[in-house]
Amino acid sequence: MPNHPLADSGSSGPAVTAGARSALASRFIDLVADKLIATEAVFRHHLSSDVPFIEKAGRYLAEGGGKRVRPALLLLAARLLGHDGEEEVTYAAVVELIHTATLIHDDVIDHAALRRALAHGQVEIIQRLCGATLKMTEGELLAFQRLGAADLSVEEYFEIIDRKTAHLFAAAASIPSLIPPQRPEAGQVLSRYGRSLGICFQLVDDLLDFTARESDLGKPVLSDLKEGKLTLPLILLLPRVQAAQRRLVERVLEDRSFTRVSPQEILDLVAAEGTIEEVTAMAEEYAAEAKRELEVFPPSGAREALEFAPDFVLHRRS
């Protein structure tokens, strides 16, 4: 991981308007908007529940924040490597099915349909997808084992999010390098790009739990803490504060509610310690690291779009 700027936290960056966020989303996915819509159709076809169809891919991503970032990455990476077929659409849909399987009840996924979708695929691609799925499962188990723990370390946190989030981003970005003609060197670069972007994505998720409006996020602020999840702003904070202040956080973890401690008390504590700014600086460094990986590729529309992805992730609001 990049050096964590713990001593010099920096700032959270300039405010970004809704219009600017929409423009970032547009620059991120315009090149693959048609294929993203085709991916959504495949994704919807292989779910037994109804998933709302998107009218315009750009608006869907702009308004939906983190929705469909993974398939968009895969489609853009395929474009970067010169692929233009139906195969990448199938893999993009499968990546999103795998992600969705961690969010909704297992019986919603039609596993037979998933196997059929992969039936024509390259063995290496299936292995890559299976590996990412295994890592996600390991990450979920590690997180569950440490649920409610007030002593979660920074190292443990990054181990969990590397498995839960970053591996699927890395797989999404690198799978096009396995489509014939294979380009293993490009795949290694794109995997590192995807991993850095995935970590950035999760750090922003943590930040939104503290900074987003409930109307944007779709859930109350500090929902993670209420569910027993200790995220990075609080992991950094707890070793630095007095026992009475630590106890505020511990009570919420114990109660799984804000009956004895108010959300504002936690928000004030985090604001006083500056850990929001520190985590923002970390997210920005991972975003910059992702962009640097792309420098080995010649300039192109696909490379430019992939370079916009970290900015889109940094400035999303849901």
pTM (two decimals) = 0.81
Whole-number Å distance between alpha carbons of 37 and 51: 13
**pLDDT tens profile 49-81:** 444 443 334 444 444 445 689 999 999 999 999
Instruction: Give the pLDDT of residue 108.
Output: 39
Closest to 235 in 3D by CA, of 178, 166, 282: 282
CA–centroid distance for 230 within its chain: 17
Does residue 36 contact residue 57 with C-beta atoms inside 8 Å?
yes
| Domain residue ranges in the chain | 18-314
Does residue 33 contact residue 58 with C-beta atoms inside 8 Å?
yes
Whole-number Å distance between alpha carbons of 101 and 106: 6
Closest to 195 in 3D by CA, of 160, 164, 168: 168
Higher-pLDDT residue of 307 and 10 is 307
Single-letter code of the amino acid located at 259: T
Share of the chain above pLDDT 70, in %: 81
Three-state DSSP state, 47: strand
Specify the CATH architecture of the domain 18-314: Orthogonal Bundle (1.10)
